[in-house]
């Protein structure tokens, strides 16, 4: 999916909502466990309920890989069910030596037709470059994350600046705002404006809103650009809005609530 197509979705729906399909078999409503594929049954209902309010779905592959072959099949069925005009993210955090990254890129862009994949850039340019060779596909590179352990490395001072700033500026030169996005954690309130200053034109995938403590207002006030330029991910706050038989209806209401708040900033 191209940048202009993403922007069109944002403007059309007045939303920057990305719903995270981090579907945990132990957390889905009990009545779905009778289904042949409970994970897909859950995801299908969530997509039906939220698709009018979201511009992206993020599939955290760990929740599917943990279920072995059946999990990969659930993921494929879920991906194929998502409307084609909605941006899809394989949250896989891959990154390895060049020939291995090429195979990871083939996995998520050829074997599965995702629009993007998240990438860990620690191994450098040759670990990221293979993901940027596909027209209409995106590499979403970890910039600054919202987990507690991000302090271990990302905040370290190197050459007079925090390491995460060097990652953002260096990786930006490997591609363009047409094929590179960055993961920017919403709980890092003090850094949101700085990250936008460093990368004025790139899209950011912003996790951490909701259960992790981030909020839509702070994110929008500090990161929106002329094209919106952000995708705010919410996972648990939408897909687990209810654990009962009304789970899909509750998810739809939660997604609409986020969309309405986002619309006030767009």
Q: Kindly report the length of the chain.
A: 266
Q: Give the alpha-carbon dihedral of 182, 79, 110, 180, to 10 degrees.
A: -10
Q: Which residues pair with 205 in a beta bridge?
A: 183, 231
Instruction: Indicate if 137 belongs to the active site.
Output: no
Q: Where are the beta strands (DSSP E) in 5-86?
A: 17-20, 56-60
CA angle at 261 for the pair 165 and 91, rounded to the nearest 5°:
45
Q: Which two tokens stand for residue 65?
A: 């890989």
Residue 110 is given by DSSP the state: I
Q: Which two tokens stand for residue 91?
A: 């949250």
Cα separation, 95 vs 188, in Å, equals: 24
Point out the catalytic residue in the list 44, 70, 77, 93: 93
Cα separation, 251 vs 149, in Å, equals: 30
Cα separation, 131 vs 20, in Å, equals: 21
Which residue, 155, 255, 143, is CA-closest to 205? 143
Sign of the C-alpha dihedral, residues 170, 157, 92, 34?
negative
Q: Give the alpha-carbon dihedral of 42, 36, 87, 175, to 10 degrees.
A: 120
Catalytic residues: 93
């Amino acid at each position: 999916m191209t940048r202009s197509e993403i922007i069109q979705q944002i403007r059309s729906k007045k939303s920057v909502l990305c719903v995270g399909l981090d579907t945990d078999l132990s957390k889905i409503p009990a009545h779905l466990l009778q289904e042949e594929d409970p994970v897909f049954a859950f995801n299908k209902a969530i997509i039906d309920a939220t698709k009018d309010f979201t511009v992206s779905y993020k599939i955290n592959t760990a929740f599917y890989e943990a279920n072995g072959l059946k999990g990969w099949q659930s993921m494929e069925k879920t991906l194929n069910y998502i409307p084609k005009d909605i941006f899809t993210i394989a949250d896989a955090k891959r990154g390895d030596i060049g020939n291995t990254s090429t195979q990871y890129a083939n996995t998520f862009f050829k074997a599965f037709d995702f629009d993007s994949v998240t990438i860990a850039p620690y191994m450098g340019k040759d670990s990221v470059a293979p993901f940027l060779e596909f027209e209409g596909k995106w590499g979403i590179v970890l910039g600054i994350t919202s987990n507690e352990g991000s302090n271990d490395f990302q905040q370290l001072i190197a050459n007079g600046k925090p390491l995460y700033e060097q990652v953002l500026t260096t990786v930006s030169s490997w591609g363009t705002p047409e094929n590179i996005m960055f993961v920017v954690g919403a709980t890092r309130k003090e850094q949101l404006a700085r990250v936008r200053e460093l990368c004025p034109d790139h899209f950011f995938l912003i996790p951490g809103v909701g259960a992790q403590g981030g909020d839509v207002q702070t994110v929008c006030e500090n990161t929106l650009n002329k094209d919106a330029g952000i995708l705010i991910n919410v996972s648990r706050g939408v897909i687990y809005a209810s654990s009962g038989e009304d789970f899909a209806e509750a998810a739809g209401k939660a997604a609409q609530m986020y969309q309405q708040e986002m619309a006030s900033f767009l």
